[in-house]
A and B are shown apart, each in its own frame.
Chain A
Amino acid sequence: MLYSISGGDIERWAEPQIIRFCLGAGAMAFMAFVPISFWREISILAYIVGIALLIAVPYVGLTRGGAQRWIDLGFMTLQPSELMKIGVVMALAFYYDWLDERRISHPLWVLIPIAVISLPACLVLDQPDLGTALLIIMGGAIMMFIAGVHWAYFLVTVLSVTLLVTGVFATKGTEYQLLKDYQYKRIETFIDPSTDPLGSGYHITQSKIALGSGGMTGRGFMQGTQQRLNFLPEKHTDFIFTTLGEEFGFVGGIVLLGLYGLILGFCYVSALSNRDRYGALVTIGVSTTFFFYFAVNMAMVMGLAPVVGVPLPLVSYGGSAMIVLLLAFGLVQSAHVHRPR
């Protein structure tokens, strides 16, 4: 896919990505071979390392596109916020594996996981990366939900979030406004992209045009006109799905979606048949994170959600997200392979 976008220039995007995929796949295999009990033991450590990296970003990080999210490792740049998504999942799975059944819904014992989620979320929000922060919060909330925290907490949270969103928009334009201007604008143009066809709405309009022009079966590999002529923004990262849609059409898109669904399915089957609580929790956490990745990305590209920087998992160009996902799948495989029988 990346090969097609760069106009058949393999070295530009495809080659580094292939190298990273191989690296990630190797790491995944390694993770799968190590027993899940080991990973459980280092869960907290992984979380702490992730937090440390996040804190380090403002000091050693690289700034790209107005956001400081990357740490340069020499051979690739690392986005600690991606790593953090898995860190939170591991930490919460460990926590709920350890926690006594009767305390799960106790207010005090609910506050701890909220703190575990909030700390990295706030750090990520500070970068600023609203999309990833939201994903971390959502992923953490799902973990709590699966672990068996009482319904009432979620009800209250949903209600308060609704209130907050109303509040956010009510404060817009005042000096107390809570989001950055561009984030407001993105949400507004999501509601009506045609208001600014050359600015923020441009992304969505263009991606819908590209997607729609693909039709049932697409225009064929490397035949897309929209991306070829460089009308598509960020065509190799967050908007790669438009290229796929344009070149392979509805069929290509559905096949990808189906593959994603299949992965989720495997995760659920594995989790439900796993008697190890940590393994089951991690598996569902990872699959949920994965789900958020592609669901938000696709929804964004198809004009169902605001434009936030979320890559399409395993397809977009970008090292961190893919390697983190592969590592996470390694974790899932480890949980499956080394499950108690």
Chain B
Amino acid sequence: MRFPSKPVKLRKILTRRAVILAGIQASVIGTLGWQMRRISVQQSQSFRLLAEENRVNIRLIPPVRGLVFDRLGKPLAYNEPNYKIEMVREQSDDPEKVLRRLATIIPITEEDISLALVEMRKRRGFVPVTVAQDLSWKHIAAVSANAPALSGITPELGHYRIYPQTYDFAHIMGYVGPVSDYDLSKTDDKDPLLLIPRFQIGKNGIEKKVEKRLRGKAGVKQIEVNSVGRVMRVLARKENKAGANVQLTVDHRLQKYALQRLGNESASAVVMDVQNGDLLAIASAPSFDPNKFVRGISVADFRDLNEDKYKPMLNKAVSGTYPPGSTFKMVTALAALKGGFITDKDQYNCSGSVELYDRKFHCWNRGGHGRVALHDSLKRSCDVYYYEVAQKVGIENISAMARDLGIGVKHDLQLPAVRSGLAPTKEWKKRVRKKDWTVGDSLNASIGQGFVLASPLQLAVMAARIGTGTKISPRLVNAIDNIPQAVRGREALAIEAVHLDAVRKGMFGVVNEQNGTAAGSRLSGSKKMAGKTGTTQVVSITERERLSGIVRNEDRKWEHRDHALFVAFAPADNPRLAISVVVEHGGGGSKVAAPIAKDIMQRALEMDKDNDYRSLPTDLRSRHPIKGDKV
């Protein structure tokens, strides 16, 4: 390359001036570094104080948690004002001395004091720690009057969560509790509210699953305080936003009745509106009082709940899964009809058992049912009929039908631990059990034993889907902040109407015809119910037991007794409601579960007649003035 034309002199100038420029720039960089040092090292102490301690404080303004109502606008969870005393460590010269002084004014124990001190030591200096709560206005006034002597102490207005329906809605509502380190480790929620000690978050049920909407948004105020902690001025303020109000689809009257009717059993019942999927009752017995958890449950109470063999803490309606037993026969029948393997006229002979590959498969009626077609097979719950059918249909068709009807699929409900049950397939057994599927497995599955598992919720959904012929899905939350939540599954099932009708007629027979297994549980009045009983073995009856005749349920240990099940929809000619009842180790479906279902259904239909379910109130906040709804 040619050397540039104006070489030496210009290059000299350029170099000289570049050096000058570089020198200026270097000195600017030096100045910047020096200023940085001045701010962040030398003045760091004072700026750090400005940032978080003495002069400028950031205070979160916690929002008021959203309220929860049932479908009729009855409060299920609300907030009650809670006067409490908070202490900020850094604003107090001697926290312990101040707390002792405080103890002379308000009723706090030695234990409260040491707890508060421990809590304060654990947290950063500016975090307010609750010293005492649930105080009367008198005490708050006394503390305010003595404020100059109580540095770092501020009276605050907080809220208690109240569950007015106590036991009835324990599993649905869940409860709130103080956020724990464990909660924080499990969530990637960056909400600064969670860093407030003892901030109340949903721990179970709706409170947990709708937590983010119920919680609301924190407000922030930045205040300048003087050296003794007196607020000088508010520098910036961002208002908080109260949590959203939530309305459930549940009817508190029906819920209460269902729980009462389940009584002392370990049992659950689900009532669902078949047209929009609204869950009108999700009862799980026994229950517990969620309010106990809010104020801190005692160790003894918690142990009692935890060790009870009836498992009161478990929401059996969605988290309990059981072999559905004979309630599953509709699935097998529909799979067979749909696939063209049988017609509703086809008959099979039931002699009480079938022999297959050297194994005997028994009918519950050891004497046999004689010649049985579809209608009688449901009405009298003949097992052998389904053993014969199952060999033709095969497990894949049965499982596919089960999933269509809502068994073995997880329903999207705002409750924790909603189980998906199991509609087994060959692939599943190979993968999980590492064994090949056998015809015997199909036979067991055909009558809802063996690997098949369903929750009471799924059984209610199944009844609803058979009753309507739609893919209706359950719904628990009706509206959030007055915004209605979608109804899902109004589209039709891929099952022919004649097939559905044949099965529905069989279910009608179960309740309303002679020899029906639930003939004793007919509804009083003009409305008819179509249902199906189920009795599922928990432990298999050995051949020896069968021979020796010790098979009476009552003679066995509670844990070994059969589960009693019943599913139904009503009215049979124009379904409105579906129900499922499962009584754990309750005995026979017809004797135990069907009468319970009948009573609950009867009550639900009476309520339906009042037309309550058609019109859901939406504007709840104006209807129910909220106690203590201010900060």
The interface of chain A, by Cβ under 8 A from chain B, is 7-8, 97, 100-101, 104, 142, 145-148, 197-198, 202, 208-216, 225-226, 228-231, 245, 249-250, 253-254, 257, 260-261, 264, 268, 271-272, 275-277, 280-281, 284, 288, 291, 295, 298-299, 302-304, 340
Contacting pair B4 A275 (CB below 8 A): yes
The interface stretch among B35-43, B80-88, B89-97, B155-163 is B35-43
Within 8 A of A (CB), among B178-221: 188, 190, 192, 220
* Cα-based distance from A271 to B18 in the complex (angstroms): 9
Q: A8-B188, A254-B33, A261-B29 are in contact. Are A225 and B52 (CB under 8 A)?
A: yes
Contact among B17, B25, B47 for A145, CB-based, below 8 A: B17
In the bound complex, residues from chain A placing their C-beta under 8 Å from that of B190 are: 7-8, 228
Extra contacts, 18 of them, besides A148-B17, A302-B39 (Cβ < 8 A), are A142-B21, A197-B235, A198-B236, A211-B47, A213-B47, A213-B51, A216-B40, A216-B41, A225-B58, A226-B51, A231-B222, A250-B37, A254-B33, A254-B36, A272-B15, A276-B4, A277-B10, A302-B35
Contacting pair B188 A209 (CB below 8 A): no
Contact among B4, B21, B29, B51 for A212, CB-based, below 8 A: B51
In the bound complex, residues from chain A placing their C-beta under 8 Å from that of B303 are: none
Contacting pair B48 A215 (CB below 8 A): yes
Q: A148-B10, A230-B220, A277-B10 are in contact. Are A209 and B21 (CB under 8 A)?
A: no
The interface of chain B, by Cβ under 8 A from chain A, is 1, 3-4, 6, 9-11, 13-15, 17-18, 21-22, 25-26, 28-29, 31-33, 35-37, 39-41, 43-44, 46-48, 50-52, 56, 58, 188, 190, 192, 220, 222, 235-236, 238
Q: A213-B50, A250-B40 are in contact. Are A299 and B32 (CB under 8 A)?
A: yes
State how many angstroms separate the Cβ of A237 from the closest Cβ of chain B. 19
Contacting pair A288 B21 (CB below 8 A): yes
In the bound complex, residues from chain A placing their C-beta under 8 Å from that of B31 are: 304
Contact among A8, A101, A210, A268 for B51, CB-based, below 8 A: A210
In the bound complex, residues from chain A placing their C-beta under 8 Å from that of B51 are: 209-210, 212-213, 225-226
In the bound complex, residues from chain B placing their C-beta under 8 Å from that of A261 are: 26, 29
In the bound complex, residues from chain A placing their C-beta under 8 Å from that of B36 are: 211, 245, 250, 253-254, 257, 298, 302
Contact among B6, B17, B25, B39 for A208, CB-based, below 8 A: B39
Contacting pair B32 A302 (CB below 8 A): yes
Contacting pair B22 A212 (CB below 8 A): no
* Cα-based distance from A302 to B42 in the complex (angstroms): 14
* Cα-based distance from A281 to B18 in the complex (angstroms): 10
State how many angstroms separate the Cβ of B33 from the closest Cβ of chain A. 6
State how many angstroms separate the Cβ of B240 from the closest Cβ of chain A. 13
Contacting pair B192 A145 (CB below 8 A): no
Contacting pair A212 B13 (CB below 8 A): no
Q: Considering only CB atoms, which chain B residue lies closest to A99 in the complex?
A: B6
In the bound complex, residues from chain B placing their C-beta under 8 Å from that of A268 are: 18, 22
Contacting pair A146 B39 (CB below 8 A): no
In the bound complex, residues from chain B placing their C-beta under 8 Å from that of A210 are: 51
Contact among A97, A104, A211 for B40, CB-based, below 8 A: A211
In the bound complex, residues from chain B placing their C-beta under 8 Å from that of A303 are: 35
* Cα-based distance from A148 to B12 in the complex (angstroms): 9
Contacting pair B35 A277 (CB below 8 A): no
* Cα-based distance from A335 to B28 in the complex (angstroms): 26
State how many angstroms separate the Cβ of A256 from the closest Cβ of chain B. 10
* Cα-based distance from A310 to B220 in the complex (angstroms): 29
Q: Considering only CB atoms, which chain B residue lies closest to A261 in the complex?
A: B29
State how many angstroms separate the Cβ of B188 from the closest Cβ of chain A. 7
| A-B complex: 6 closest residue pairs judged by Cβ atoms | A212-B47, A213-B51, A101-B6, A148-B13, A250-B40, A215-B44
State how many angstroms separate the Cβ of B115 from the closest Cβ of chain A. 26
* Cα-based distance from A266 to B455 in the complex (angstroms): 71
Contacting pair A257 B21 (CB below 8 A): no
Q: A198-B236, A212-B47 are in contact. Are A295 and B41 (CB under 8 A)?
A: no
State how many angstroms separate the Cβ of B96 from the closest Cβ of chain A. 27
In the bound complex, residues from chain B placing their C-beta under 8 Å from that of A257 are: 29, 32-33, 36
Contacting pair A213 B48 (CB below 8 A): yes
Contacting pair B41 A250 (CB below 8 A): yes
* Cα-based distance from A211 to B56 in the complex (angstroms): 15
In the bound complex, residues from chain B placing their C-beta under 8 Å from that of A146 are: 14, 17-18, 21
State how many angstroms separate the Cβ of A46 from the closest Cβ of chain B. 21
In the bound complex, residues from chain A placing their C-beta under 8 Å from that of B22 are: 264, 268
Contacting pair B39 A212 (CB below 8 A): yes
Q: Considering only CB atoms, which chain B residue lies closest to A224 in the complex?
A: B51
State how many angstroms separate the Cβ of B559 from the closest Cβ of chain A. 48
State how many angstroms separate the Cβ of B610 from the closest Cβ of chain A. 49
